[in-house]
């Protein structure tokens, strides 16, 4: 396969699709911005792609809760398509609103009925929209293919409902990929390092295969060194911390 085909899913209120598309293009993928209506009416087919991405934004205004309406659309109208896509080895990435959507469909932490979801995302403990940069550490034991070779990252967050809450019984078996930390890498640091109050400082999770991954921070907003908020005073590097997530995905998908 010469090029990896990546689908960036759009819906009313999506606003990070262009940045995410650019990141994947820079990583070597061929990218299509596809509205959910095109998948529903079959003018576009999910099976024609190797990677599916649900980017950040406020789909349908988050009027019934963050990501809830889009999650219902995907679950009720595209559920079997998603199952076939994952069964055939496809990768799925959810960023911010995409994390909320993947959880509320039951796709994460695993393909489950929404009536039995052991995990969800809810309003930040601060009660307000949190928009700033955070420190992250990757779990070396995670199966996630998106974060291979990554140890730490510094990425921006921008969300009002990013708090992960979970049934205590599922936490030991959950594949946590990323944790919020302080500058020293302390994964138990509280607010403001943990911007939303997520249980166990969880910032991103994966399914059991490692091929479905979602995170609240925005890797697409730090793919170039000059996007770092202190690049002028601290110097710059060619690529930002988030870029490797996209290159890892493209590299993996080439093997499909």
- What is the set of active-site residues? 96, 218, 220
Separation of alpha carbons 34 and 8, rounded Å? 6
């Amino acid at each position: 396969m010469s090029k990896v085909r990546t689908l960036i899913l759009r819906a009313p209120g999506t606003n990070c699709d262009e940045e995410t598309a650019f990141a994947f293009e820079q990583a070597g993928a061929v990218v299509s911005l596809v509205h959910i209506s095109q998948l529903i009416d079959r003018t576009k087919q999910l099976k024609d792609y190797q990677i599916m991405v649900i980017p950040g934004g406020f789909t349908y205004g988050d009027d019934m809760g963050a990501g809830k309406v889009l999650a219902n659309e995907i679950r009720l109208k595209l559920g079997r398509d998603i199952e076939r896509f994952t069964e055939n080895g496809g990768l799925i990435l959810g960023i911010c609103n995409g994390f909320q959507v993947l959880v509320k469909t039951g796709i994460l932490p695993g393909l489950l009925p929404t009536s039995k979801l052991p995990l969800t995302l809810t309003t930040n403990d601060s009660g307000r929209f949190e928009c700033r940069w955070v420190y992250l550490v990757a779990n070396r034991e995670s199966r996630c293919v998106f974060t291979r070779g990554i140890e730490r990252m510094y990425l921006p967050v921008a969300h009002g409902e990013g708090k992960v809450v979970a049934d205590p019984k599922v936490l030991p078996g959950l594949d946590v990929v990323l944790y919020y930390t302080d500058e020293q890498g302390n994964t138990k640091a509280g607010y403001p390092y943990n911007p939303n109050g997520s249980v166990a400082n969880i910032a991103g999770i994966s399914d059991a295969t490692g091929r479905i991954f979602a995170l609240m921070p925005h890797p697409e907003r730090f793919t170039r060194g000059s996007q770092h908020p202190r690049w002028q005073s601290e110097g710059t590097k060619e690529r930002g911390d988030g870029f490797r997530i996209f290159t890892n995905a493209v590299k993996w998908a080439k093997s499909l």
